Amino acid sequence: MYYIGIDVGGTNIKAGLVDEEGTVLCRAQTPTLAQRPGEEIGADIGRLAKAVAEDSGVPHSEIHSVGIGMPGACSDETGCVLYTANINFSRFPLREAVQKEIRLPVHLGNDANCAALGEYYMLPEKTENLVFITLGTGVGGGLIIGGKLYTGFNGIAGEVGHIMLRHGGEACGCGRRGCWEAYASVTALIRQTRAFAEAHPESAVAKSCGENFEHLSGKTAFALARQGDTDAAKIVETWIGYVADGIVDMINIFQPRLLLIGGAISREGDMLLQPLRQIVEAEMYKSRVPQTEIRIAALGNDAGLIGAAFLGKQS
């Protein structure tokens, strides 16, 4: 069978037809135009699904389902989007809107959850349990337990970015203080880099950011640290410490066989992974049992699309 995956972002909606092995055979995309009425976005999602189905030449009878990954919370039970951060989709019956355009089963999931599912199905080895963390604008996650995506009784489980690491610490977008996300997201790394640059305007870090911080990104400190700048190395080290704090929590709670780290920053590879593993090893709950393996996620940008497609495999 074949599966259609849709990855809905704040900027673009991406669609792909995926085979059983997770190969994306055919792609299409359209701008989200996030402030449009939900009906219009829903119709575009449906039309994109139809387009990849038709362009692929795969017979309709061999397409199993459409899966949609959303930046927000969905109920796959009711087929409704519950809320999204930046798209006009609160309490919206998305399944119904999509099925006006294409007659196939439609499944909905959170985007980080879909990425977790994509990584899970594409693993080279077999495992029952997996924790997936994505470091980006926020800190998101997806939990695979017993081979299934775990979403809690209300569909919104896995908000791992909103565990508290520092009582009374930085304000988080969720309303709480001291959340993991407020320290370990790429947004937080950028803020931390900028704060250093502002305090040390003559530093290489500051110069690297540009006069109006126009060159500042999550890569700034990593790139300079690679060149041997000790200030940048310290910024990176501190940030990796924040990432590690939450990962130790995840391991103490879940003891998964595998913990995968995704998001664009994970391309920093061993420069992120090696110090992270050292801290986790020192801080995790000790016992003489096999330990979680921490790896960089494998699929990059396609994880969400492939995982969305495979939502249909879960039901």
Give min distance, CB of 292 to a copy of itself, in A: 8
Give 314's contacts (C-beta < 8 A, 6+ positions apart).
107, 117, 148, 149
278 binds a copy of itself (CB under 8 A): no
Q: Based on CB atoms, which residue is closest to a copy of itself, 21 or 289? A: 289
Of the two residues 232 and 248, which places its CB atom closer to a copy of itself in the complex? 248
Is residue 116 a contact point for a copy of itself (CB under 8 A)? no
Cα–Cα distance for residue pair 46/233, rounded to 1 Å: 47
User: What is the C-alpha separation between 102 and 51, in angstroms, rounded?
Assistant: 10
Rg of the Cα atoms in the chain? 20
Q: Which stretch binds a copy of itself (CB under 8 A): 29-37, 103-111, 290-298, 301-309?
A: 290-298
| 153 binds a copy of itself per the rule CB under 8 A | yes
Please answer whether residues 265 and 138 qualify as being in contact, where contact means their C-beta atoms are separated by less than 8 angstroms: no
Smallest distance, a copy of itself to C-beta of residue 113, A: 12
Which tokens is 13 given? 């909606």
Q: Find the binder of a copy of itself among 252, 274, 301, 315 (CB under 8 A).
A: 252
Dist. CA 43–CA 93, nearest whole Å: 12
Is residue 175 a contact residue for a copy of itself (CB under 8 A)? Answer: yes
Backbone φ/ψ region at 140: left (φ over 0), alpha (ψ -120 to 50), beta: beta
How far apart are the C-alpha atoms of 41 and 92, rounded to whole Å?
A: 11
The minimum distance between CB 199 and a copy of itself, in angstroms, equals 21
Pick 83 or 213: Cβ nearer a copy of itself: 83
Query: Looking at 22-30, 75-83, 100-108, 209-217, which segment touches a copy of itself (CB under 8 A)?
Result: 75-83
Contact 6, 67 (CB under 8 A): yes
Pairing status of strand 130-135 against strand 106-110? unpaired
Considering only 155, 218, 262, 304, the residue that binds a copy of itself (CB under 8 A) is 155
- Binding-site size, a copy of itself (CB under 8 A): 51
* DSSP one-letter string for 192-220: HHHHHHHH-TTSHHHHHH-TTSTT--THH
Shortest distance (Å) from residue 160 CB to a copy of itself: 6
| Range in contact with a copy of itself (rule: CB under 8 A) among 27-35, 122-130, 199-207, 295-303 | 122-130
Q: Does position 77 bind a copy of itself by CB under 8 A?
A: no
Convert 151-190 to b/e letters by CB count within 10 Å (16 or more is b): beeebbbbbbbbbbbeeeeeebeeebebbbbbbbbbbbbb
Q: Looking at residues 204 to 243 of the shown chain, list those that interact with a copy of itself (rule: CB under 8 A).
A: none
Angle at 148 between CA 147 and CA 153, to 5 degrees: 150
**Quick one: 188 or 209, whose CB is closer to a copy of itself?**
188
Pick from 13, 18, 87, 157: which binds a copy of itself (CB under 8 A)? 157
Q: Which amino acid is at 310?
A: F
Binding residues vs a copy of itself (CB under 8 A) = 73, 75, 82-83, 91, 127-129, 143, 145-146, 148, 150-160, 162-167, 169, 174-176, 245, 248-249, 252-257, 283, 285-292
